Structure 1
Amino acid sequence: MKGARVNPQREFVSITVRCAWLDGCTLPSTDEESPVTRSRLTALLALLLVIALFFWAGADDWLTLQTLKARQADFQAWFAAQPLAVAGGFFAGYVLMAALSLPGAALLTLLAGALFGLVQGVVIVSFASSIGAVLAFLVARWLARESVERRFARQLQRINDGIRREGAVYLFTLRLVPLFPFFVINLVMGLTRMRAGTFYWVSQLGMLPGTVVYVNAGRALGEVDAVGDVLSPTLVASFVLLGVFPLLARRGATWLERRRLTRRYPRPKGFDYDVVVIGAGSAGLVASYIASALQARVALVERERMGGDCLNTGCVPSKALIGAARLAQRVREAPARGIEVEGPRVDFAAVMAGVHRAIEAVAPHDSPERYRGLGVEVVEGAAYLQTPWEVRVGERVLTTRHVILATGARPRVPDLPGLEAGAYLTTETLWRLERLPEHLLVLGGGPVGCELGQAFARLGSRVTLVQRAARLLPREDADVSEPLRARLVAEGVEVHLQTRALRVERDAAMPSGRCLVVESGEGARQRLPFSDLLLAVGREANVAGLGLEALGIELGPRGTVTVDATLRSLQVNIWACGDVAGPHQFTHAGAHQAWHATINALFGEFRRFAVDDRNLPTLTFTEPEVGRVGLNEQEATARGVAFEVTRYAFSELDRAIVDGRTEGFIKVLTVPGKDRILGVSVVGDAAGELLAEFTLAMTHGLGLGKLLGTIHAYPTYAEAAKATAGAWRNAHKPDRLLGLLGRYFAWRRRGAARD
């Protein structure tokens, strides 16, 4: 038996480094530093030399309050003689000191008040300090951010997420509080992903009050005995309050708004339930199960069918259809493996009957009987929130401490001229088909459009797929989506990219009597005929008829319920999870959110947990499968995250070779020079199963080195994970150490010959 092979000279190994802020940056090897690294080291040494010279020359002794007071008359005489030269020199010196983080800024600010007066002094110091701060910020960013991100990638990711959301507010707070040294703020902020422009204007504004105080004190420099005397305890406290005011105001406004909304409705003296869950899809089922397991009293309200979209119109039926289509494709491919068979004859009615049998087989897992047996009261009917505490279902009113919205989503129907009601298919109506579409036109090239388009093509439909974006699966990298496009075209799917749907027309000249008028990116128009039109252009949250508007619960730009990181809405006792909350509309994402919404609802007065979906895997069930967890290249580049790419092709995996399924690859993004995983994309057979190992590693902070040290059964597709880790290790082998070992063993061999 042999293990998976890793050959560093083969084409399946390619290591690249991408730095979002430096073009052409390459990872330095063990033996030789890159030009960028050398230039940074040189700049750091020069900076340290300048700072050392500053102290060696005694400049720090010269910049004392006593010296300034003693030479105040000389300074004022110089300024009177050459005002522009003195003002310009002072400005440049202040900028330089701030940029190099040298001590003395407070003393120079006092001197500005003595020399230039209040107005001119404030203008000069305000701009000089802000410009110097930005220079220090940029120096710290260029010198140290990359190395810090390599070492503390996971910790910095959370910090940078906070910076993106409220970075300006936090920086403003720090600038207003004189207890925090400004030079430390400059350097630390340079290590984050805050934009330089934001840093500048917030610093300019935040440092202005302190500048005014110091410049004003400098006007009477002779009366100041110590720099610390400028800021009295009362003044420091005022700055602190002013600094934290934006944070307190934001949180206070939210608290007041929630209190205002809640006080509009009387709170019941008692409650029938601890939690009422609205919607029995995947998120609602998990929420009700968890609450019941924790001995809470739970009501689960569903107006249609238990199991939601996943069971009835989504995951279960689509995967059953894809499975049947895959079998048909295997029959077509059998002669290549020496198996002579006739081409597949598809009985579409039997295929759909199999789809419905799959739904019936899974349905008991989500049935009312099962959940009633678990202690959940299942209530059939449409729910309406007449108050935050009262849910009306028909003539019955349920009082509850908390409400969890899990109402899911429905297929979006675009506003397309000529699109008649009922004259199209969606993932809700598709499963009623009794005949195989002769010519199916799929509008939308996302996961749903690609999955169903390929499935119907394999079952015998002529399929045309229209995608507005420049590629299929636009959230994935181009090299990830391209193999899928090529496979679809090879299987007979007509793919139109960068093509916009204009209208539906009836045309007797067309074989089916209907066509879709589209416009390509170059402006050319076409008429694409079809017998059936499948809309796969996204989903919309189910929020109508719940009474959310009357309760003041806001909806986001995509129509989902606006919630905070803990999934709480503006109403303190109303939570949302799953498709209705977004942003990830997957069954496993809904289940993940349901845990957080339920625990936060039941125990939120003690502690609430924010949802962490950084390691959420996604999978498109086409052939080849396309899966991802974490960042891909386009997302990392957009966020300014430095990364290194390691690729491993399935054409080198023994199991894939013997199965004849060598299409695809694994692509892993890691922190440059480290084995910490930032994201993984997989294209090919068993992509979903392979993602599980990488998701586990990312969730628990395991690097590629740990995967390499794990025994994998041979021959399996799982070996590809270990082989990818081996490819990374081979590209980072210690060449200098290996060279020394080679010389050592050569010396040993020569010694043995002499003996």
Structure 2
Amino acid sequence: MERIDTDILVIGGGSGGLSVAAGAVQMGARVVLLEGHKMGGDCLNYGCVPSKALLAAASVAHAQGGNAAMGVGPGQATINYGAAKEFVDSVIGQIAPHDSVARFEGLGVTVIEDFGRFTSPTEVQAGNRVVTARRIVIATGSSPFVPPIPGLSDLPHYTNETIFELRERPDHLLIIGGGPIGMEMAQAHRRLGSEVTVIEGQNVFAKDDPELSAIVVQKLRDEGIEIVEEALAQSVSGKSGDITVSTTQGEFHGTHLLLAVGRKVNTERLNLEAAGIDYDRSGIKVDAGLRTRNRRVYAIGDVAGGLQFTHVAGYHAGVVIRSMLFGLPAKAKRNHIPWATYTDPELTQVGLTEAQARARYGARLDVVRVDFDGSDRAIATGKTTGMIKVMVVKGRPVGASIVGAGAGELIGIWAMALANNLKISAIAAMVLPYPTMGEINKRVAGAYFSPRLFESRFIRWLVALVQRFIP
């Protein structure tokens, strides 16, 4: 058995693990990285990257429908579903070298292509190697959760890990789950020519602002997607190409089935008991600094049991690097973490929703709404469906919700404001090029200050005084 001693051992080569490994080795630490499956993890191979590529192909197909208001008639779209999936593969292939074994070995990381399991609080075995490390970072991520629906094990079905392998377009795709993955795949497949039914046991977009998510739901329904809420799946039956999902709202029939009901953390291979690490079904138990009960071991990203987003894993990487390499206090926060669903229109959130802010702040809360149809750029480009809603307490934003074209980009300014505890006056002070969608953010600041300026008796009195006495 070969033994390796190192400063930092990273278990998992997804977004968070790769960020830790690259950052630590370039700052002079000895780093060993374990990855038993694919470098780049879920995001590169099964999640963020392929889903956005497929949505982009679907958007091109959808655009062939034309726009009568702009004087553009419908074109003749020829959709090759298999070719669209090949495009997805090509996108993954272009990004993969950045996450490859060769790149990280070039940086000086010792990469072991095997899974790791703890054999003691300081040792991890990977194949015929035992790695001893001063600090260990668990970044094993999560996998699709497959619910125990009666009949499911007897039928072919897909998850986000397998749907991108499909090369023949589904005639009718049944999707169980109305979260971001389910809704993005619903719109992508509908625009690529499939009939689509989304079956959700509660409400779709359950974590988002219901006022804004309703706008997305209506748009998807207008495109022909059947969305059934409060329909708990009770069983599935049939055969390949002829599948029935029985729910509390009746039966639904299709040719293919995609499960998008959530994620489960990847802890089963780790033998965490040997390391004295506490965990449960939601993830590994960590403190504010992302440390486990075993003070040598950290957990980051999905496996740490919090928000399951690629950018959160990257953020966590920065937190633990600060602690491990420099011995500085570092805590992971959540209030400034945004998320986005990349449907058309996009749906994004950072900080508190309106309901959460009202529950916390009550009468101290101001909610500022601005519709996209007041934006000159939105009008000029025909993208007026949308709204931004910002929750403000004593002049500082505590949350923002956006639905509309480019919402994933627009949310960035509010994420920065929350991360830096900025006042909304900082947004008002921006000067932006005209016309841009970004002006919508500045309009929010204007909408917040307008009644305070134009309806204030004191301001009117002060202006009158200045005009009377100052030459």
- Tell me the residue number matched to 2:119: 386
Task: Name which of 627, 636, 648 aligns with 2:348.
Answer: 627
- Tell me the residue number matched to 1:532: 256
CA distance in 2, matches of 1:493, 1:654: 30
What is the 5 A alignment of 1:346-361?
346-361=79-94
- Tell me the residue number matched to 1:719: 439
Q: Deviations over 1:508-549 (max 9, x none)?
A: xxx9432000103xxxxx110011111111000111121112
Shift in alpha-carbon separation, 1:334–1:343, aligned structure 2, 3 A: farther
CA distance in 2, matches of 1:380, 1:744: 76
State the 1:406 CA deviation. Answer: 0.4
1:481 aligns with 2:210: no
CA distance in 1, matches of 2:39, 2:277: 26
1:490 aligns with 2:215: no
Task: Name which of 107, 124, 132 aligns with 1:374.
Answer: 107
State the 1:676 CA deviation. Answer: 0.6
Matched AA of 2:233: A
What is the 5 A alignment of 1:245-260?
none
Task: Name which of 727, 734, 740 aligns with 2:461.
Answer: 740
Shift in alpha-carbon separation, 1:745–1:496, aligned structure 2, 3 A: same
- Tell me the residue number matched to 1:415: 148
Matched AA of 1:561: I
1:515 aligns with 2:236: no
State the 1:600 CA deviation. Answer: 2.1
> 1:512·1:529 contact (CA, 8 Å) conserved in 2?
no
- Tell me the residue number matched to 1:686: 406
Q: Deviations over 1:295-336 (max 9, x none)?
A: 000001100111001111111100000001111111113444
Task: Name which of 334, 339, 345 aligns with 2:78.
Answer: 345
1:600 aligns with 2:329: no
Task: Name which of 259, 270, 279 aligns with 1:546.
Answer: 270
Cα RMSD (Å) of the superposition? 2.0
- Tell me the residue number matched to 1:676: 396
Shift in alpha-carbon separation, 1:395–1:717, aligned structure 2, 3 A: same
Percent identical pairs in the alignment equals 38
Q: Deviations over 1:231-263 (max 9, x none)?
A: xxxxxxxxxxxxxxxxxxxxxxxxxxxxxxxxx
SS of corresponding position for 1:679: strand
| Greater radius of gyration (CA) | 1
- Tell me the residue number matched to 1:653: 375
Task: Name which of 587, 592, 605 aligns with 2:310.
Answer: 587
SS of corresponding position for 2:287: coil
Shift in alpha-carbon separation, 1:467–1:473, aligned structure 2, 3 A: same
Q: Deviations over 1:654-710 (max 9, x none)?
A: 000000000001100001xx3211111110011111111111122222222121121
State the 1:746 CA deviation. Answer: 8.4
State the 1:570 CA deviation. Answer: 1.3
State the 1:481 CA deviation. Answer: 0.8
Scaled by the length of structure 1, the TM-score of the pair is 0.60
SS of corresponding position for 1:372: helix
CA distance in 1, matches of 2:126, 2:160: 28
Task: Name which of 578, 583, 592 aligns with 2:301.
Answer: 578
Matched AA of 2:435: P
> 2:241·2:255 contact (CA, 8 Å) conserved in 1?
yes
- Tell me the residue number matched to 1:398: 131
State the 1:742 CA deviation. Answer: 6.3
Matched AA of 1:646: V
CA distance in 1, matches of 2:227, 2:4: 56
State the 1:582 CA deviation. Answer: 2.5
CA distance in 2, matches of 1:545, 1:629: 34
State the 1:397 CA deviation. Answer: 1.2
SS of corresponding position for 1:483: helix
Shift in alpha-carbon separation, 1:384–1:728, aligned structure 2, 3 A: same
SS of corresponding position for 2:274: coil
State the 1:603 CA deviation. Answer: 3.9
What is the 5 A alignment of 1:81-480?
272-420=5-153, 423-469=156-202, 471-480=203-212
- Tell me the residue number matched to 2:387: 665
CA distance in 2, matches of 1:346, 1:620: 24
CA distance in 2, matches of 1:654, 1:564: 47
Matched AA of 2:296: N
CA distance in 2, matches of 1:388, 1:380: 22
SS of corresponding position for 1:498: coil
SS of corresponding position for 1:339: coil
> 2:66·2:75 contact (CA, 8 Å) conserved in 1?
no
> 2:66·2:74 contact (CA, 8 Å) conserved in 1?
no
Shift in alpha-carbon separation, 1:746–1:594, aligned structure 2, 3 A: closer
CA distance in 2, matches of 1:291, 1:421: 46
Larger deviation, residues 697-706 vs 365-374? 697-706
Following superposition, which runs of at least 4 residues in structure 1 exceed 4 angstroms of deviation? Answer: 741-748
Q: Which structure features the higher share of strand residues?
A: 2
Matched AA of 1:601: M
- Tell me the residue number matched to 1:555: 279
State the 1:557 CA deviation. Answer: 4.6
Q: Deviations over 1:562-621 (max 9, x none)?
A: 1111111111211110111131110000011112223323344xx331112210011110
Q: Deviations over 1:429-473 (max 9, x none)?
A: 01110101110011111111111111111111100011111x321
State the 1:637 CA deviation. Answer: 3.5
Q: How many pairs were matched up?
A: 467
Matched AA of 1:602: L
CA distance in 2, matches of 1:608, 1:740: 51
CA distance in 1, matches of 2:464, 2:345: 47
Scaled by the length of structure 2, the TM-score of the pair is 0.95
- Tell me the residue number matched to 2:422: 702
CA distance in 2, matches of 1:457, 1:506: 23
CA distance in 2, matches of 1:421, 1:396: 39
Task: Name which of 600, 612, 620 aligns with 2:333.
Answer: 612
Larger deviation, residues 654-663 vs 701-710? 701-710
Matched AA of 2:332: V
Shift in alpha-carbon separation, 1:422–1:297, aligned structure 2, 3 A: farther
Q: Deviations over 1:177-235 (max 9, x none)?
A: xxxxxxxxxxxxxxxxxxxxxxxxxxxxxxxxxxxxxxxxxxxxxxxxxxxxxxxxxxx
Matched AA of 1:591: G
CA distance in 2, matches of 1:742, 1:611: 47
CA distance in 2, matches of 1:745, 1:611: 50
State the 1:422 CA deviation. Answer: 6.3
Matched AA of 1:465: V
> 1:439·1:462 contact (CA, 8 Å) conserved in 2?
yes
Matched AA of 1:653: S
SS of corresponding position for 1:427: coil
Matched AA of 2:256: D
State the 1:741 CA deviation. Answer: 5.0
1:731 aligns with 2:451: yes
Shift in alpha-carbon separation, 1:545–1:421, aligned structure 2, 3 A: farther
SS of corresponding position for 2:232: strand
Task: Name which of 365, 370, 378 aligns with 1:643.
Answer: 365
Matched AA of 2:234: L
> 1:279·1:407 contact (CA, 8 Å) conserved in 2?
yes
CA distance in 2, matches of 1:745, 1:573: 66
> 2:65·2:73 contact (CA, 8 Å) conserved in 1?
no
CA distance in 1, matches of 2:69, 2:174: 30
